[in-house]
Structure 1
Amino acid sequence: MSLVVRGGGRSKAITDPSQLTGPEKAAVILLALGEDHATIWAGLDDEEIKEVSQAMASLGTVAANVVEALLVEFVAGMSGAGTIMGSYEQTQKLLQAFLPPDKVEALMEEIRGPAGRTMWDKLGNVNEAVLANYLKNEYPQTVAVILSKVKSDHAARVLAALPEDFALECVTRMLRMEPVQREILDKIEQTLRTEFMSNLARTSKRDSHEMMADIFNAFDRQTESRFMAALEERNRESAERIRALMFVFEDLSKLDPGGVQTLLRGVEKDQLALALKGASDALREMFFSNMSERAAKIMREDMEGMGPVRLKDVDQAQMKMVQVAKDLAAKGEIMLAGAGGDDELIY
């Protein structure tokens, strides 16, 4: 039988019960029982719910013979439940049958975020550049506590990605560190969960409006305006959502200095000059301020020497620059802020 695995599941269909861990076996049983027996979840504590939910969401396709074997093993008299599919949607639907909506959302955000049973396990699966970009705005003592709790190899990569003076201050605090009180650790964990992990989880969601925003970003300016105007006439709400989700050239103004400098290293100089020709004065000065005085002077001279340029060429240069920024963000080298609000988008 040919079976397809969706989402973050295993690369092959599960055909042998021995392939499954304990939480995965429990996830299969709960999926097979369905919503009618969702009250079983009430007997699990929060950590067990998280662990089983994580397993369920990444399960993929489970062959019917495996489901039957597990049901025979764990639930006497129940067999032949057939092939089932574990997915984010199915997991969320089951949880909603017995948990409040806010708790379901919190659990699903944790599932969508980095894997790991504890907060420190999860941090160990976050790209070091993304984590460093968040930590550099925290107090050195707080960063020292966090880095002392993650694996040493990951802590080393994060320290290397932090600004040097700040990293050295964190190292000094780690050397002097005394045992941390439980309530302080709890507070740090809560802050990480609400301010950092929730953003990571939210940005892993992708609906049709996000997909369409990417398509609109790839349009030239005239095509984008034409489609947006037509969409506003048919569905103003969707048009507004797409516009809020779009990342456009002027949104590069939200990059921090480190992000600007990383982007400058990834863009060809002639394309940068052409893109900045059509930029606002504020955005243009932001890029100049992150160059050396000599480089900024040369760039200004190059732009003046271009004379009049076609709008189409400027649009293409700006689109290429935005794509470079998105590629860098996908690698975790910079962080992009969304056009629709203050939430950070971490790719």
Structure 2
Amino acid sequence: MAEEGSKLNGVDRSAILLLALGQDYAAEVLKVLTPKEVQLVGSAVSGLYNITRDTLDDVMKSFIMGVRGNTSLGMDTGEFVKGALTKALGQEKASNVIDRILSGADSAGLDQLKWMDARSIADLIRLEHPQIIAIVICLLEADQAALVLAALPEKMRADIVMRIATLEGVQPAALRELNKIMAAQLSGSAQSKQSAVGGIEAVANILNYMDGTNETAIMEQVMEIDAEVGEQIQDKMFIFEDLIDVDDRGIQTLLREVTTENLLMALKGADEALKEKVFRNMSRRAAEMLRDDLEVAAPAKLSDVEAAQKEILAIARRMADAGEISLGGGGGDVYL
């Protein structure tokens, strides 16, 4: 039904649109997506089933209306790029992408890294100067960067984190030179404005995706090197207990994407206030069943609890990036 289509998120709607376009046109669309976008849309496509005609019609109508409302001839293309990317990614995330696009910087070599597995990237850069390693890691998505950092030798990690935390920007000329180095390694053979990479928030995002053991070890070393930087990083990190600040509507939206098994494991390490918030945003029957399961559940390893919490946090960050929830709180009370 048409209202079914309205409940779909942006990724699901994109997946349905690609299916409707057919393989040839879908392939052309996929060519211009980022690795993470390809993964998200690909997963959504594989999970689609029983798409009704009404749902398809709703998705197609929304797409057509969007095209009609946002493509007028004679507009400033630079402003269009800025506006579109800012709406899609937010001001902070979009700024770096906008700089690269509008300055014409060629990042083909660095972009190839985003399609590689973390171990291969770590092997490729481990012998480079630590500052180069730090810049390369900054240019990856936070979840991929976390895996790369974990794959590097343990003695290097704190130094790399400190360099990322104190990195304020990279000159375009240096970025182009780094791109040439990466392109040469992978193949076997401007303007004064800096590209915004690195910083405290970049480190916090990366560490948010790491497992608890590695995260703790790195932070302990960072605190020994510079306690002030370490505290700044901790202030920026979003931990499981911070879900208490997400509004009720956001919690309800998040719970729809979380498996009961993961939620049960994650809540074993949560304080009572967060547990009550979760219970309050579930149906009465579901909340009672979850309470009972928590009471009778066998003890779990701390590493298993942390892994479940990390997985839920990863879902929360993905949904926040997609604009489906806000991690900053606010909003009213909405009950299921």
Question: TM-score, normalization: structure 2?
Answer: 0.42
Compare CA radii of gyration and give the structure with the larger one: 1
